[in-house]
A and B are shown apart, each in its own frame.
Chain A
Amino acid sequence: MTQQATQEGLSTPTSGYDPSTSIIEIDHVTKSFGSFTAVDDANFSIAQGEFFSMLGPSGCGKTTTLRMIAGFEQPTSGAIRLDGTDVSRVPPNKRDVNTVFQQYALFPHMNVFDNVAFGPRSRKASKDEIAKRVPELLEIVRLADFANRRPSQLSGGQQQRVALARALVNLPKALLLDEPLGALDLKLRHAMQFELKRIQREVGITFVYVTHDQEEALTMSDRIAVMSDGRVEQIGTPTEIYDNPASVFVAGFIGQANLWPGTVTGRSGETADIVALGGASLKGRCQSEALRSGTDAVLMVRPERITISTNDPGPTIQRVRGTVVDLTFQGPIVRLVLHTSDDTPIIANIDPDHDLPMLRPGDNVWASWSTNAASVLPASPDHPLTATDVVDEG
C-alpha cells in the first residue's frame, strides 16, 4: 500500500524532454588539482530540454563538473561537447551556456535592467532587441516592476530571480545552476523550486542543476547523477535512484534506508539470495555483476516499505522476526525500531492508522516487505557498516 503511494509521489513527469537527444556530452572527463582528483572519469550526456541534477555532498566534484561545462575550469583529460562541438578549451565568454551562481554574483553597481542587459550587450545585440528581450525576461521571472532597483535593494529571492533572468536572456543551449537556492530560507526555497520548474517549462532550455539537497533534486529533476568523491555513483530518474540505488552510498544519501550487512548465497538473474539479520535467508533485487555466492553484501530496505504484523505473513514475502525497542510518533508516520535476534536494528515507518494492536517495547512482531522493495548492494569499503548502523538522512 505505501509502496504504490511512494512511487507515484516521486515520479513527477516534468519537462517532457526527448531522452534520445544530447546537448551536453561529458566524455570520460577527469579533473585533477595537483595530486587531488576532483572529478574521476565522469562519462554521461544530458538531453535537450532536460532538467538534470548533479547531487552529492560537498567535495564530491559536482561543482567542478559544472565549472568545466561553463568553461571556468579545463578538464585534465577527456572532452566536453556542447551540441556536438568539443568546447573543452573554449573560454567561458565564447560558450553558449550561462550560469546562475551560488551567491548570484549580481553586478552591484548596475540596476536590475542593466544586469539582465549585460549579456545581450556583450554579444552586441541591437538596442531594439535589448529593449524588447530584457523586459520579456523580467516578466518571466516576475520582476518587471523592479527594473530600476539595485541588487542591494532586493530580497534574496528577488536577487535569485534577477540572476536567473540575466542567465536566461541570451537563450543559452543550457543553463547551469550552482546551488542556486542554498542561500534562501526553507519556505522561500520551496517557492523557488516551483518557480524554477515553471520557468524551465516556459523557456524549454536544458537545466543542469548542482545541489547537495536530495529533496530538491528528487522533486525537480528529470534525471539525477549522484556523485561521491569525484565519481558518478549512479545516474537515473528520481524513482530509479530512490527505489533501486546502485550503491550503499546512494541508498544512504537519498532518503532513509535500512542497511544490513550480509553474505550472498545464490544468484538468479536480477535476484540474489542473501543471509542477513541474524541468519535469515532473504531475497532482493540485485544489479551488480560482482555479487556472487559467498561475497559480502548489504541488504537495503526503505523504512516505509516495511509492514509490521503480529501474525506470520507467510513465506511468500520477505520476513524477519523482531522485538519492538522503540516507538516514536512523528506526525504523518510512526517510527518503529525493532531488534532482530542478533540485535540488528530494523527501522520501519508505519501509518498511524495502521490496523495494529497497541505495540509496546518488548513485543515480538514480524517485519515484512516485498522482494521488489529490497536491494542487494555491493559491500563498500568506503562506507563500512556496523551492526547498529542505520543510515538516517531524514
Chain B
Amino acid sequence: MSVTDSPAVRRVGRIALIAWAVFGFIFLFTPIVVTVIYSFNEPTGKYNYIWNKFSLAAWKDPFKYPELTNSLVYSLKVAFVVTLIATVLGTLMGMAMVKYKFRAKGVLGAVIVLPLTMPEVVMGFSLLTLFVTLNWSRGFVTIIIAQVMFSVSYVATTVRARIRGFDWRLEEASADLGAGPVRTFTKITLPLIAPGVLAAAMLTFALSLDDFIITYLNSGLDNTFPIEIWNLKRSRVPTQINVFSTSLLVISVLMALLVIWQGRRRQRALDGAASASTGIGTHGLAAG
C-alpha cells in the first residue's frame, strides 16, 4: 500500500477538494450576492457603493428614475423581438443541420460557431462599419440586427445539440397518416423539440438583456438597460439598479427551475415507462 492510498491522505484530499469547490462557488456568487444585498442599502451619496444602512426605499419606489425604467422597458422590447427572430431562424438552421445532408454543411457548421468565438468588439465594429457604409441611422432596427446576428448561433448550436436524437421517422409516420408538411411540423415536430427550442429562447433572451459591447456600438440615441447604467455611472448609481437586477435575477432563476422541473417530470415519465414495458409484457400477451 503506497502513501497516497492511506485513508488519512485520502481524507485530506477529499477535504481539500471540497474546500476548493466551495472557494470556486464563493468566487462565482459573491458579485451576485452583493448586488442583491445592496438593493436594500440606503447610500449616503449618489453612489450605491458603500453599505450605510438597511432600507426598503428603493424597493418601494423602483420607478423613481424614468430614464432607467425606460431603458429597462426598451431592453425588454429588444430582447423580445430578438428572441422571436433568432429562435425561429436558429431553430430552422439547427434542424436543417441535423436532418439534411447538403454540400456546405461542414462550412456552415464552422461558420455558425464564428460569432461565438469572435471578440465582441470586432463584431460590433464590423457591424457599425457596415451600417455607416450603408448610411443607416443606428437605433432599434440596427440593435435587433446586431443581436440577432450572434444569437442565431447560440440558438442553432443549442437546438442542434438537443435534437440530435430526434426520431425523424415520426415525421414519416405523420406524412404516412395523411398530414401535410405544415401539420406535421406543428403537431409532431415542434411539440417534441419544444424543450430544446425553449432552452435556446431563454438563453437568447438573457444574452440580449445582457449584451453591452455590440449593442453599445450599434445603438444610436436610445439606451438599453446596460448602456443606461453605464451612462448613469458618471452622475449617480441609484439603488434602483440593484432592485431591477435582483428582480431579473429572481425571474430568470425561477424560469430555470421551471425548465429543470419540467425536464425531471418528463424523465420520470420515461423511466416509469421503461419499467412498465417489462412489467406489463406478460399482461399484454394475456390481453392479446
Interface string of B261-276 (1 = CB under 8 A from A): 0000000011011001
Task: Tell me the bound Cα distance from A94 to B93 in angstroms.
Answer: 28
Residues from chain A with a CB closer than 8 A to the CB of B179 are 93, 118, 122
Task: Tell me the bound Cα distance from A91 to B173 in angstroms.
Answer: 13
Interface string of B159-203 (1 = CB under 8 A from A): 000000001011011111111100100011001100000000000
Distance to closest chain B CB from A125 (angstroms): 10
Distance to closest chain B CB from A155 (angstroms): 4
| Pick from B170, B280, B285: contact of A187, CB under 8 Å | B285
Residues from chain A with a CB closer than 8 A to the CB of B278 are 155
Residues from chain A with a CB closer than 8 A to the CB of B170 are 105, 107
Question: Judging by beta carbons under 8 Å apart, are A156 and B281 in contact?
Answer: yes
Task: Tell me the bound Cα distance from A151 to B270 in angstroms.
Answer: 10
Question: Judging by beta carbons under 8 Å apart, are B178 and A170 in contact?
Answer: yes
Question: Judging by beta carbons under 8 Å apart, are A154 and B284 in contact?
Answer: yes
Question: Judging by beta carbons under 8 Å apart, are B178 and A122 in contact?
Answer: yes
Residues from chain A with a CB closer than 8 A to the CB of B176 are 70-72, 92-93, 97-99, 167
Distance to closest chain B CB from A32 (angstroms): 17
Question: Given A92-B175, A92-B176, A118-B174, does the pair A155, B288 have CB atoms closer than 8 Å?
Answer: no
Residues from chain A with a CB closer than 8 A to the CB of B183 are 122
Question: Given A92-B175, A93-B178, A153-B272, does the pair A103, B281 have CB atoms closer than 8 Å?
Answer: no
| Interface presence of B283 (CB below 8 A) | yes
Question: Judging by beta carbons under 8 Å apart, are A155 and B280 in contact?
Answer: yes
| Interface presence of A123 (CB below 8 A) | yes
Question: Judging by beta carbons under 8 Å apart, are A188 and B281 in contact?
Answer: yes
Question: Judging by beta carbons under 8 Å apart, are B173 and A93 in contact?
Answer: no
Task: Tell me the bound Cα distance from A52 to B154 in angstroms.
Answer: 50
| Interface residues on chain A, number (Cβ under 8 Å) | 42
| Interface presence of B277 (CB below 8 A) | yes
| Interface presence of B8 (CB below 8 A) | no
Question: Judging by beta carbons under 8 Å apart, are A105 and B172 in contact?
Answer: yes
Distance to closest chain A CB from B188 (angstroms): 6
Tally of A-B residue pairs with Cβ under 8 A?
106
| Interface presence of A19 (CB below 8 A) | no
| Interface presence of A191 (CB below 8 A) | yes
| Pick from A101, A192, A195: contact of B173, CB under 8 Å | A101
| Interface presence of B287 (CB below 8 A) | yes
Distance to closest chain B CB from A182 (angstroms): 14
Residues of A183-201 whose CB lies within 8 A of B: 185, 187-188, 191-192, 195
Question: Given A105-B169, A105-B172, A187-B285, does the pair A153, B177 have CB atoms closer than 8 Å?
Answer: no
- For A141, the closest partner residue in chain B by CB is B288
Residues from chain A with a CB closer than 8 A to the CB of B169 are 101, 103, 105
Residues from chain A with a CB closer than 8 A to the CB of B285 are 157, 187-188, 191
Question: Judging by beta carbons under 8 Å apart, are B178 and A153 in contact?
Answer: no
Interface string of B25-42 (1 = CB under 8 A from A): 000000000000000000
Task: Tell me the bound Cα distance from A82 to B288 in angstroms.
Answer: 32
| Interface presence of A152 (CB below 8 A) | yes
Task: Tell me the bound Cα distance from A138 to B118 in angstroms.
Answer: 57
- For A124, the closest partner residue in chain B by CB is B178
| Interface presence of A265 (CB below 8 A) | no
Task: Tell me the bound Cα distance from A161 to B192 in angstroms.
Answer: 23
Task: Tell me the bound Cα distance from A71 to B177 in angstroms.
Answer: 12
Interface string of A56-91 (1 = CB under 8 A from B): 000000000000001110000000000000000001
Contacts A/B (CB < 8 Å), 30 sampled:
A70-B176, A72-B172, A72-B175, A93-B177, A93-B178, A98-B177, A101-B172, A105-B172, A107-B174, A109-B191, A118-B174, A119-B177, A122-B177, A122-B179, A122-B180, A122-B183, A150-B269, A150-B273, A152-B269, A152-B270, A152-B272, A152-B273, A152-B276, A154-B280, A157-B281, A157-B284, A158-B287, A170-B177, A170-B178, A187-B285
A-B contact sample (17 more), CB < 8 A, given A98-B176, A118-B177: A71-B176, A92-B176, A93-B178, A93-B180, A101-B169, A107-B173, A118-B179, A122-B180, A122-B183, A151-B273, A152-B270, A153-B272, A157-B288, A188-B281, A188-B284, A192-B288, A195-B288
Q: Which residues of A line the B interface, CB within 8 A?
A: 70-72, 91-94, 97-99, 101, 103, 105-109, 118-119, 122-123, 142-143, 150-158, 161, 166-167, 170, 185, 187-188, 191-192, 195
Q: Which 10 A-B pairs have the closest CB atoms?
A: A152-B273, A119-B177, A122-B178, A155-B284, A157-B284, A122-B179, A155-B280, A105-B173, A92-B175, A105-B169
